[in-house]
Structures are given as structure tokens and as C-alpha cells.
Amino acid sequence: KRSDRNDSSRPSNRKFDGDKSRNFDDNKNFGDKQYIKRPKKKAEDAEDDGLVRLNRYIANAGICSRRKADELITAGVIWVNGEPVTELGTKVDPATDEIRYNNERLKREKNVYVLLNKPKDYITTTDDPQERHTVMELVSKATKERIYPVGPLDRNTTGLLLMTNDGSLAEKLPPP
């Protein structure tokens, strides 16, 4: 027969049973993680006196992604003020520098905002390797600028979807 668990005469091998000063503190549990909130860098702080990284400028001009822009820079096909640039991390002044690709002057895209009432059975992505219908098919003729969906909407979900090329706005909006 098992003895009653509250029987204090039973010896224990637990080290903290006799020490009444020790108790469990929720703040000291190993599972609790301490997170340090660091202030986010603002876009203005990241830029030096209006200078922006060349790959970012190329991406904002709608030519390609930043990674692809890095490849174009190292290939030497991007020209700044009449000189080819091959060094990654180069900063340019959009107000005064002349940036060219394929002998055409690059201009920053204007910010575009498209609201779409997403129908069912469309995927909220720019490209789908499985070749399912994407929301990009629905807005392909809405604008010449490259736009991206902001936030996810499931395939079977309908609702209002914002599509834009304004990255700073997209960062500020909370996820749905």
C-alpha cells in the first residue's frame, strides 16, 4: 500500500524540499527568453546624405531584384556618370548622378498602389512554380511598374489585397 503523498515523515531525495526560501519564480524559468528591443533603423538613417546603394536604386527603378542588380553591377553593365561600376556597395545620389543600363537612363519608379478584391482560388504570390493562378495575373495590365502583394491571403480566401511597389509602406503595415 502506498503511503499518503502529504506524509512529511517520508524522506525525500529532492534537494529543495527542505529549503523554504527557494521557490519557483516564473521569471527565472529556463523557457522564458529575454528579448531586447532595438530601435529599427529608419530608411532616412540608413541613407547617407541622400545617398542610396546602387543595387537598391536599380531595383527601385524596376529593372530587377537587388540580387540580380548585384550581378549586373559585377558584370560591369551599369554606368554611373559615364563610368562603368563593378564594385558592390557603391552608393549613388539619385538627385545628381546619372545611372544607365543598356544605354538607357534609369529613373526611380513612382509609387503605385492597387487595391484588389482577391477572388477564391488565386494565390497571393508573384510567381508560383506549380503554375497555379496568381494575383499577378489579375493586375498585369493595371500598371507598368512592378508591384507586389502586401500580406498573405490564403488561396481559398477572398478579400481586399493591397499591391504596391512602396516598400517603406509595406514594412509599416502590420500583418493581417
Helix (H) or strand (E) segment spanning residue 52: strand 52-53
CA–CA distance, 68 with 127 (Å, rounded to integer): 16
Q: Are 92 and 105 in contact (CB under 8 A)?
A: no
CA–CA distance, 115 with 118 (Å, rounded to integer): 9
Q: Give me 37's grid cell.
A: 528591443
Which residue of the set 17, 121, 128, 154 is catalytic? Answer: 154
Residue at 175: amino acid letter: P
Is 154 one of the annotated active-site residues of the chain?
yes
Which SS3 state, helix, strand or coil, does residue 174 take?
A: coil
Q: Are 114 and 139 in contact (CB under 8 A)?
A: yes
Residue at 99: amino acid letter: I
Active site residues: 154
